[in-house]
Homo-oligomer: A and B are copies of this chain.
Amino acid sequence: MNILYIYAHQEPKSLNSAMKDTAVAAFEEKGDSIKVSDLYALVFKPVLDENDFQKRKNPEKFNPFVEQLHANKTDSFAPDIKEEMYKVNWADMLIFQFPLYFTGFPAIMKGWIDRVFTPGFAFNPLTNSAYDTGLLKGKKAMLVTTTGADKDWYTSGGMHGDIDELLKNITHCTLEFVGLEVLPKHVVYGASSLSEDDGKKELEKYKERILSL
């Protein structure tokens, strides 16, 4: 199996980094191929703007949807976007690992979605290609995240509410929207206050999860 591991944490000494390393080792142990897009290390550009396009459909007025469709037709995206698209096409499974920022992606990972999951590549309203007919159909996806707050904040009676409901803009409206089959998420709650021992246990649990995929 080919795995694209899209990863967003700034610090190599963090729990998130240890989780990423654990996953890479576990995938290699079971004979899978893995490519990592380490977004902070890549200094990945998260902002969808005119620089994403090497040729413009309409240089007079910037419409992201129009330009993204055109760039897919003419193979004229900026190199960093093409590189990520190449990895998506190669992959059987996409894993997004990130600390939860305001119950969502950190901006750098949201920008990966905004710039890579483009019309003509991941979905296409002009051909009704979305959800069951999303252009990435046949591939799988999984969210792996850590939270600062404890688990009770993310339950239906909790302060934030049910985490599965809060993640639907990602799991349903982003991943399923482009045709991906979404696997159950893997969450480490209260990551900021874990003891070293509990951190090690979380890495063991995560390794088992990866080996079970």
At the interface with chain B, which of A18-26, A46-54, A73-81, A135-143? A46-54
Task: Select A173's contact among B10, B103, B170, beta carbons within 8 Å.
Answer: B103
Q: Is the CB of A173 within 8 A of B148?
A: no
7 closest pairs, A vs B, by CB?
A107-B111, A46-B107, A103-B173, A103-B169, A11-B62, A107-B110, A102-B174
Segment touching B, from A85-93, A158-166, A198-206: A158-166
The answer, yes or no, to whether A30 is at the interface (CB within 8 Å) is: no
Partner of A168, one of B11, B110, B165: B165
Q: Chain B's nearest CB lies how many Å from the CB of A57?
A: 13
How many interface residues does chain A have, given as a range?
A: 35 or more
Task: State the oligomeric state as a number of copies.
Answer: 2
Instruction: Give the shortest distance, in Å, between A151 (CB) and chain B (any CB).
Output: 15
State which residues 95-153 of A face B: CB under 8 Å: 101-108, 110-111, 113-114, 117, 125, 130-131, 148-149
In the complex, chain B residues whose CB is within 8 Å of the CB of A159: 130-131
Q: A residues engaging B (CB < 8 A)?
A: 10-11, 13-14, 40, 46-50, 60-65, 101-108, 110-111, 113-114, 117, 125, 130-131, 148-149, 159-161, 165-170, 172-174, 177, 192
22 contacts between A and B (CB under 8 A): A10-B49, A10-B62, A11-B62, A14-B61, A46-B47, A47-B107, A48-B101, A48-B107, A65-B148, A65-B192, A102-B117, A102-B170, A103-B169, A103-B173, A104-B169, A106-B114, A107-B113, A125-B148, A161-B173, A166-B168, A166-B173, A167-B169
